[in-house]
Amino acid sequence: MSRNLHLFSLTLIDTLDTLVVLNKTKEFEEAVKKVITDVNLDNDIVVSVFETNIRVLGGLLGGHSVAIMLKEKGEYMQWYNGELLHMAKELGYKLLPAFNTTSGLPYPRVNLKFGVRHPEARTGTETDTCTACAGTLILEFAALSRFTGTSIFEEYARKALDFIWEKRQRSSNLVGVTINIHTGDWVRKDSGVGAGIDSYYEYLLKAYVLLGDDSFLERFNTHYDAIMRYISQPPLLLDVHIHKPMLNARTWMDSLLAFFPGLQVLKGDIRPAIETHEMLYQVIKKHNFLPEAFTTDFRVHWAQHPLRPEFAESTYFLYKATGDPYYLEVGKTLIENLNKYARVPCGFAAMKDVRTGSHEDRMDSFFLAEMFKYLYLLFADKEDMIFDIEDYIFTTEAHLLPLWLSTTNQTISKKNTTTEYTELDDSNFDWTCPNTQILFPNDPMFAQSIREPLKNVVDKSCPRGISRAEESLGSGPKPPLRARDFMASNPEHLEILKKMGVSLIHLKDGRVQLVQHAVQAASSLDAEDGLRFMQEMIELSSQQQKEQQLPPRAVQIVSHPFFGRVVLTAGPAQFGMDLSKHKAGTRGFVATIKPYNGCSEITNPEAVKEKIALMQRGQCMFAEKARNIQKAGAIGGIVIDDNEGSSSDTAPLFQMAGDGKNTDDITIPMLFLFNKEGNIILDAIREYEAVEVLLSDKAKDRDLEMENMDQKLTENDSHKQNAEEAASGSQDVGAASEEPEEGGESSDVADPGSLSPANADSASVPISHQDSYVPGTEEAGAPEPACTSGDNQPQEQQTETESNSKVNWDNKVTPMESILADWNEDIEAFEMMEKDEL
């Protein structure tokens, strides 16, 4: 564990109260001692005010809350004297400099040692913050004030909330995503219930519950009325513009909105909570996890899944409200998917891509702080708990704050400073907490009747592949040359284009770009023909791209000692075996071919026969490589990028195109790996020689049978070695002391970028030469359709054919020893943590 906050000690602090929920009281006591002795808050480190508040300050306060509860029970924590609270107060003072603005909204970042304005602070130049970042402080700061009797924390958090309320858009009663901390102007004027705003709404309602201040409830109800009026489009929750709330701001939803059904349960508005939750569950059933973002027709928009707990949170609250065992089945599905797809030797790994099952090397602290907590509580009976969970309220990080704080150290006046409330329909508040009505009067099938119409909402929304290009080409005036008939090598076609004011530009990569300038057309009628031709070409190019796009594939190392744990995201090919139609995939040992570029007859066919051939990109077409290895007897092929350092982490998905000829003769599967992922396989070959991989459309379950067999063989070898050593009569006696390497975690929040439309003074469209290149989108967050038949789920892609690429084979790669050493260190650290700390 980290010994200072420079390495943040985030997971240890963030999971303190989770241990008590799980009835791990001895482990909790030891963990608290480690926090007290090892964590130093006075460090020169720039941290997010929002994340530090909800995870570290909230973790310390949650730990203090359950520590004093255990002490009162008389068995554990008898030595505890408020040490966590003292640390929380120290941290609170270190966050206060961030509030040094005219508005009262905090800077998004603060240096724990030097504050904000200090020359060495390396922060304080920011002008914007997100609404949730400034509006998700009141629970922790007010609890800190109530616990300590120091009112300044609650005062600062209230001032920030007051400012956001005053700056709401008065006609719609909505707030934007980001705001200028100095002027109060809205920077991003879209509004929703997901990323950037989510916990602002959550904290208004929960501040009323914890602090008993009616003004927070009135504000929440005003916002909630606007949300249900404009953003809620059952079962969807779509962002809108705050000034034009009838106009949708985007056509996709982010996964953070999954918390909202749980908040609706707390408010008592059950029907829309059930509807939205069911829609989200259908998306999860299709992809195993909730993608980071998905479109209104349930295609994948952002494919990552960092093991977010918001859906589990809503599942727990819906079960508490309804008692419907259906939600236990939902929880069971979540647990099974986590164990099946995310479990790795040292914990649970975030999903890099929900479509392929590839992993990221990270497990955020909120997974232990929230996901474990909500899933355990979902299935726990009252007798499983050592305290009454109903005596506490959950923060947005699921930390526990006692409800008795509402009557303790009330140093803040409850005078209602909220003004200009909108007159709302009284029925909007019928179910508001505290709720005195029965949610489901004599009708146990109520929740099921709401879910039933949504059972197939995802499948029904999948597009049927209607060609807009065909529709647009089916009527209206036709230009003298149709886009689908155009050939760049036809002189007559080029002459017609010139007459229509359309010129050709030959790009360096072999593509041809068309540009129209109406003033260069022979006549106004020709200019109109040129415009229609360009419109056709744009539609046709877009349609061809969609038709040729393929989803990412997976290369899974299944041999010892990997057993399927290593999954590499691979680019597909537009030729050869379609892995989506061969669910079993192609499994075999890998072999490096000679020549390595695969552009001529293979000279080592005996090494390649019945194996999966490895080759380097460059020198010839991909299809030519495939034909050469297929002729040598290979059962599949992997092309490794020759661009040193390229990685699927940073580059858009690469798709291998054909050579402009008929490729039906190629029957083996071909996949593309970027340089970083390819080197992982090459390293494995150097270390183990015999490396077996599985080429498939998505990752398969780990080979548990082989893994267990290998473990038994390893144990037998170990016993045999020990017996031999004992028999040798060795008298060497040694002592070893081993400590886990110090490490830590940091957290950051990045705002998605926005895409600005290009200035369209003239029409321009790149077209493919012999269908060998399909242009991909450039926006990092471009939509990634993921709901077509056969599970074809295209995403942002590059599609290229090979031309004279330089061969640049470099053996300077990370050795496999270091990879396994990292694994062993992780396993040792995990075992040490499990034994000594948790």
Asked if the model's pLDDT at residue 527 lies above 50, the reply is yes
pLDDT at 779: 33
Question: In the predicted model, what is the mean pLDDT of residues 660-679?
Answer: 90
E-strand ranges in 86-148 read 109-111, 128-130
Asked if the model's pLDDT at residue 388 lies above 90, the reply is yes
Question: In the predicted model, what is the mean pLDDT of residues 100-110?
Answer: 94
pLDDT at 443: 59
Asked if the model's pLDDT at residue 803 lies above 50, the reply is no
Residues 591 and 491 both lie in one domain: no
Residues 500 and 626 both lie in one domain: no
Tens digit of each residue's pLDDT (9 = 90 or more) over 813-835: 445 555 555 555 545 544 544 44
Asked if the model's pLDDT at residue 181 lies above 50, the reply is yes
Name the 3-class secondary structure at 555. Answer: strand
Q: Is residue 482 part of a domain?
A: no
Among candidate residues 310, 526, 677, 800, the one labeled active-site is 310
Asked if the model's pLDDT at residue 506 lies above 80, the reply is no
Q: Is residue 502 part of a domain?
A: yes
Average pLDDT, the chain: 80
Least confident span in 60-64, 299-303, 385-389, 643-647: 643-647
Among candidate residues 239, 292, 784, 800, the one labeled active-site is 292
Domain count, the chain: 3
Q: Is residue 662 part of a domain?
A: yes
E-strand ranges in 601-642 read 612-616, 636-640
Candidates 162, 258, 174; CA nearest to 223 is 174
pLDDT at 537: 79
Q: Is residue 642 part of a domain?
A: yes
Residues 531 and 661 both lie in one domain: no
Residues 517 and 638 both lie in one domain: no
| Better-scored residue on pLDDT, 766 or 264 | 264
Tens digit of each residue's pLDDT (9 = 90 or more) over 265-300: 999 999 999 999 999 999 999 999 999 999 988 989
In this structure, what CATH number is given to the domain that contains residue 646? Answer: 3.50.30.30
H or E stretch including 148? helix 138-148
> Which of 665, 700, 735 is the C-terminal boundary of a domain?
700
pLDDT at 708: 58
Q: Is residue 86 part of a domain?
A: yes
Among candidate residues 83, 198, 364, 641, the one labeled active-site is 198
pLDDT at 466: 35
> Which of 406, 439, 471 is the C-terminal boundary of a domain?
406
Asked if the model's pLDDT at residue 70 lies above 70, the reply is yes
Question: In the predicted model, what is the mean pLDDT of residues 490-502?
Answer: 85
Candidates 280, 290, 202; CA nearest to 235 is 280
The angle, 0 to 180 degrees and rounded to 10, between the axes of the packed helices 310-322 and 260-267 is 30
Residues 592 and 659 both lie in one domain: yes
Residues 321 and 339 both lie in one domain: yes
Residues 559 and 507 both lie in one domain: no
The rounded percent of the chain whose pLDDT value lies above 90 is 54
On the 0-12 / 13-18 / 19+ scale of CB atoms within 10 A, 84 is: buried
> Is 225 in the active site?
no
Q: Is residue 167 part of a domain?
A: yes
Residue 622 φ/ψ, nearest 5 degrees: -60, -40
> Which of 508, 532, 548 is the C-terminal boundary of a domain?
548
Tens digit of each residue's pLDDT (9 = 90 or more) over 115-125: 887 877 788 78
Residues 449, 395: Cα–Cα separation, whole Å: 31
Is residue 123 part of an annotated ligand binding site?
A: no
Residues 137, 57: Cα–Cα separation, whole Å: 10
Residues 388, 386: Cα–Cα separation, whole Å: 7
The rounded percent of the chain whose pLDDT value lies above 70 is 73
Question: In the predicted model, what is the mean pLDDT of residues 370-374?
Answer: 97
The pairing of strands 653-656 and 692-696 is unpaired
Least confident span in 163-172, 186-195, 631-640, 740-749: 740-749
> Is 198 in the active site?
yes
pLDDT at 797: 40
Among candidate residues 14, 17, 51, 692, the one labeled active-site is 51
Residues 522 and 585 both lie in one domain: no
Q: Is residue 246 part of a domain?
A: yes
pLDDT at 771: 31
Asked if the model's pLDDT at residue 109 lies above 80, the reply is yes
Residues 400 and 357 both lie in one domain: yes
> Is 683 in the active site?
no
> At 581, is the pLDDT very low, low, confident or very high (cuts 50, 70, 90)?
confident
Residues 55, 33: Cα–Cα separation, whole Å: 18
Q: Are 551 and 793 in contact (CB under 8 A)?
A: yes
Beta bridge partners of 589: 692
pLDDT at 698: 83
Asked if the model's pLDDT at residue 792 lies above 50, the reply is no
CA 467 vs. chain centroid, Å, equals: 31
Residues 538 and 562 both lie in one domain: no
Residues 544 and 588 both lie in one domain: no
In this structure, what CATH number is given to the domain that contains residue 196? Answer: 1.50.10.10
Q: Is residue 470 part of a domain?
A: no
pLDDT at 507: 64
Residues 663, 506: Cα–Cα separation, whole Å: 26
> Is 610 in the active site?
no
> At 633, is the pLDDT very low, low, confident or very high (cuts 50, 70, 90)?
very high
Instruction: For residue 629, give its domain range.
Output: 553-700
Residues 363 and 381 both lie in one domain: yes
